[in-house]
Chains A and B, each alone.
Chain A
Amino acid sequence: MPNGWTGKILRVNLTEGRATTEDLNMAWARQYVGGRGLGTRYLYEEMDPSADALSPENKVIFATGPLTGTYAPTGGRYMVICKSPLTDAVACSNSGGYWGPELKFAGYDMVILEGRSTNPVYLWINNDIVEFRDADHLWGKNTEESEDAIRRETDPQARISGIGVAGEKLNRFACVINDKTRAAGRSGVGAAMGSKNIKAIAVRGTGAVEVADQLRFGELVFASMQMINESPTTAKALRGMGTASTVAFANSIGMLPTNNFQKGQFELADNVSGQTIANTVLNRNKGCYSCPIGCARVTETSGETKWHGHGEGPEYETIYGLGTDCGVGELDAVLYGNYACNLYGIDTISAGGTVAVAMELAERGYIPAEDLAEIGTDLKFGNADAVIRCLEMMTTREGKFGDLLAEGGYRLAEHYGHAELFMGSKKQDFAAYDPRAAKGMGLGYATSNRGGCHMRGYSMKVEWFAPMEERLDPFAEEGKAAAIIKLQHDAAGIDSVGMCDFSAYAVPPERQVELYETCTGEETSREEWDKIGERIWNLERLFNNRAGLTRQDDSLPPRMTDEPLSGGAVQNQVVALEGMLAEYYRLRGWDNDGNPSAETLERLDIQPG
Chain B
Amino acid sequence: MILAHPEKCVACHLCEGACSFFHDGAFQPAKSRIFVHDFVDEQTYVPVTCFHCADAPCLSNCPTYAITRDADTGQVAINDDKCIGCKMCMVACPFSVIGFNEDKNVSHNCDFCGGDPQCVKICTYDALEFTDFESNDWMIRLDEAERPKAEA
Q: Smallest distance from the beta carbon of A164 to chain B beta carbons, Å? A: 16
Residue pair B18, A71 in contact (C-beta under 8 Å): yes
A286 touching B10 by the CB < 8 A rule?
yes
Within 8 A of A (CB), among B123-151: 124-125, 148
Query: Closest residue to A144 on the B side, CB-wise?
Result: B41
Q: Is A538 an interface residue (CB 8 A)?
A: no
Counting CB contacts under 8 A, is B91 at the interface? no
A180 touches B40 (CB 8 A): yes
Measured in the bound complex, the distance between the Cα atoms of B26 and A205 in whole Å is 14
How many A residues, CB 8 Å from partner? 37
Cα-based distance from A294 to B31 in the complex (angstroms): 24
A290 within 8 A of B: yes
Q: Given A214-B25, A229-B124, A283-B43: A206 and B30 within 8 A (CB)? A: yes
| B17 CB → nearest A CB, Å | 4
| Chain B residues whose C-beta falls within 8 Å of the C-beta of A101 in the assembled complex | 13, 29
Rounded to whole angstroms, the CA-CA distance of A288 and B38 in the bound complex is 11
Assess the B10–A218 pair: CB atoms within 8 A.
no
| Residues 89 to 131 of chain A near chain B (Cβ within 8 Å) | 98, 101, 105
Q: Does A179 contact B (CB under 8 A)?
A: yes
**Smallest CB-CB separation from B20: which chain A residue?**
A208
> A201: CB under 8 A from chain B?
no
Contacts of A146 in B (CB 8 A): none
Closest to B29 in A: A105
Is A257 an interface residue, CB under 8 A from the partner? no
Residues in chain A near residue B7, CB distance under 8 A: 284
Partner of A286, one of B11, B14, B21, B31: B11
A69 to chain B: which residues have CB within 8 Å?
27
CB pair B26–A209 under 8 Å, yes or no, is yes
Cβ of B152 within 8 Å of any chain A Cβ, yes or no, is yes
B152 contacts across to A, CB distance below 8 A: 283
Once the chains bind, are A209 and B14 in contact (CB under 8 Å)? no
Contact present for B12 and A207 (CB under 8 Å): no
Residue from the list A205, A206, A218, A287 in contact with B12, Cβ < 8 A: A287
Q: Which residue of A lies closest to B152 (CB)?
A: A283
Distance (whole angstroms) from the CB of A290 to the closest CB of chain B: 6
> Among A70, A208, A218, A298, which residue has the most Cβ atoms of chain B within 10 A?
A208
Contact of A298 with B43 in the complex, beta carbons under 8 Å = yes
A225 at the interface (CB under 8 A from B): yes
Main secondary structure of the interface of B (DSSP, over half): mixed
Contact of B43 with A284 in the complex, beta carbons under 8 Å: yes
B43 touches A70 (CB 8 A): no
Q: Are A289 and B30 in contact (CB under 8 A)?
A: no
Contact B30 A294 (CB under 8 A): no
For B14, list chain A residues within 8 Å (CB). 71, 290-292
Residues of A within 8 A of B43 (CB): 283-284, 298, 300, 310
List residues of chain B with CB within 8 A of the CB of A70. 17, 27
CA distance A218 to B12 in the complex (A): 17
Q: Are B28 and A209 in contact (CB under 8 A)?
A: yes
**B38, chain A: closest CB distance, angstroms:** 8
Q: Which residues of A contact B55 (CB under 8 A)?
A: none
Counting CB contacts under 8 A, is A211 at the interface?
A: yes
A70 to B125 CA separation, bound complex (whole angstroms): 19
B28 engages A208 (CB within 8 Å): yes
User: Which B residues are CB-close (under 8 A) to A15?
Assistant: none
Chain B: CB-nearest residue to A1: B26
Chain B residues within 8 Å of A206, by CB: 28, 30
Chain B residue nearest to A225 in the complex (CB): B124
Q: Once the chains are docked, how many angstroms separate the CA of A211 from the CA of B21? A: 10
Contacts of B21 in A (CB 8 A): 71, 214, 218
Residues of B within 8 A of A208 (CB): 20, 24, 26-28, 31
User: What is the bound-complex CA distance between A300 and B125, given in angstroms?
Assistant: 22
Closest to B35 in A: A157
List A182-224 residues whose CB lies under 8 Å from chain B: 205-211, 214, 218, 222
Let me know if A294 and B10 touch, CB within 8 A. yes
Q: Most chain-B CB neighbours within 10 Å: which of A101, A228, A283, A286?
A: A286
Asked whether any CB of chain A lies closer than 8 Å to the CB of B122, the reply is yes
Interface residues of A in 504-561 (CB under 8 A from B): none
CB distance from B46 to the nearest CB of A (A): 13
Minimal beta-carbon separation of B39 from chain A (angstroms) = 11
A181 at the interface (CB under 8 A from B): yes
Q: A284-B43, A286-B11 are in contact. List 18 more A-B contacts (CB 8 A).
A: A69-B27, A70-B17, A71-B18, A71-B122, A105-B30, A208-B27, A208-B28, A209-B26, A214-B25, A283-B43, A283-B148, A285-B10, A287-B12, A290-B12, A290-B13, A290-B17, A294-B10, A300-B43
| 7 nearest CB pairs, A to B | A287-B12, A206-B30, A71-B17, A208-B28, A208-B26, A287-B10, A294-B10
- A-B residue pairs in contact (CB < 8 Å), sample of 27: A71-B14, A71-B18, A71-B122, A98-B13, A105-B30, A207-B28, A208-B20, A208-B26, A208-B27, A208-B28, A283-B43, A283-B148, A283-B152, A284-B10, A284-B43, A286-B11, A287-B125, A289-B12, A289-B13, A290-B12, A290-B13, A291-B14, A292-B12, A294-B10, A294-B124, A296-B10, A298-B43
Measured CB to CB, the residues of B under 8 A from A are: 7, 10-14, 17-18, 20-21, 24-31, 38, 40, 43, 45, 122, 124-125, 148, 152
